[in-house]
Structure formats: C-alpha cells, structure tokens
Chains A and B, each alone.
Chain A
Amino acid sequence: QMQLEESGPGLVKPSGTLALTCTISGGSISSAYWSWVRQPAGGGLEWIGRVYTAGTTNYNPSLNGRAAISLDPSRNQLSLTLYDVSAADTAVYYCARDSEVKTSMTYWYLDLWGRGTRVSVSS
C-alpha cells in the first residue's frame, strides 16, 4: 500500500528558501501525478501546485511564482521549493497523490495524503 512521508527543516528564516521532500513508498512515483497542499495553524487548506509525470507543473497564482515542484524518480521523491518565504508561509505542508476517474471527462482529486510536515518561518 502506497504511503507518503514529508520531510524538511522545521524552521526557515524570512526571505530564505524552503525545501521539502515527499518520499513515496509502496509504489512508483511514476504511477501518478502529485500535489502539494498547505494549511496554516487553525486555518483552511490551500493547494500549492501539482506535477505531472512528464515533469509538467501547474501552480497556484497566489504564490506569485515562488513555488517549484519537481520529481526525482531515481529516489521516488517529490520536492517543493518555496522561495523568498515570509511568516505567511508558516504552515503544515502536505504532499498528496492526484487520482483520476475517467468518464466522458477526466476528474482529478486527492486520494492519498502524507501526514504533513510543520514549517515555521521566523528569524
């Protein structure tokens, strides 16, 4: 059974760069598309972006071009890099698997989530 586990530094300084990794076990990273979602303390869920198996990416415009998502199939890992962070980026960050159901259309949803990793931005 596939599992996802996020990892990264718990603390990042303002204006610095946040780098997170999601390690996939029990299956191949090439078998699916992947997303990152974040959640500030006491807040709701915000979709950050997704990566397709060919490496194509799509990001939430609210991040103003600061996010980059990539795949490392050799390590079965997904990564998120967030540049020029501020206190507003303090959150729990989740990686999630995009699944699809095809009828006359293809519908995407997030069917498997990691446990999340907490990131604080502070000097």
Chain B
Amino acid sequence: DIQMTQSPPSLSAFVGDRVTITCRASQSVDNYLHWYQQKPGEAPRLLIYVISNLQSGVPSRFSGSGSGTDFTLTINGVQPEDFATYYCQQSYSSTWTFGQGTKVEIK
C-alpha cells in the first residue's frame, strides 16, 4: 500500500493566520491527491481534488499544490469555521489510502 504521512499531526493558529499542512506519499501518486475536511461529529467533506482543484462551494482561501510525492494544503487567513481535521488521500493505487489527519485548533 502507498503510505500517506501528514505533518504536523496538529497545529494551533490564530484566526487570520496562514496555515500550511503537508502530505507526503511513500511513492509517487502522480496527480491522484485529494484533500478532505472533517469537523467533530460530521462526515468528511471534499475540499480539493487532483492536487489543486477547489470543490464547488469551498472558499478560495483554501488552495492545494505539489506533485509526485509531496503536497501542501494552504489556508490563507484561517477562519473560525476552518478549525477541523484535514486528511489527504491518494487514489493512484488500487487500494486508496488516507493520511492520518492534521487537526487545526484555535490558539
């Protein structure tokens, strides 16, 4: 299986800060990399697909970048509603895998 490693596992930020989450794959996943947001007690929600494409309805302060094995999710000006856990996911291999998650908390 392709292992997805996110860093950091958690972070604290002030409202308005720029937040960066990284995701590293154990081998290249080409462009098959997607990001999800999950709030407590809720289902995951697709944020970004194929590295950098914003899902409909997702605010433009969210962006994604990267290639091959290294990817980044950035929130430019984090808002109170953005405090949640974020997961990366690859669909390159026949067994889809997720990162372990990054919890973004209010400082």
* A joins B in a complex: yes
Name the prevailing secondary structure of the B interface residues: loop
Name the prevailing secondary structure of the A interface residues: strand
What residues of B have a CB within 8 angstroms of the CB of A107 in the complex? Answer: 31-32, 49-50, 91
Q: How many residues of A contact B (CB 8 A)?
A: 25
Known interface pairs A94-B44, A109-B91, A116-B43. Does A44 touch B1 (Cβ–Cβ under 8 Å)?
no
Chain A 37-59 interface residues, beta-carbon cutoff 8 Å to B: 37, 44-47, 50, 58
Cβ-defined partner of B95 (8 Å) among A47, A94, A116: A47
Min Cβ gap B49→A in Å is 4
Q: Does B100 contact A (CB under 8 A)?
A: yes
In the complex, per-residue mask of B37-49: 1 if CB is within 8 Å of any chain A CB, else 0: 0000011111001
Q: Chain B interface (Cβ within 8 Å of chain A)?
A: 1, 30-32, 34, 36, 42-46, 49-50, 53, 55, 87, 89, 91, 94-101
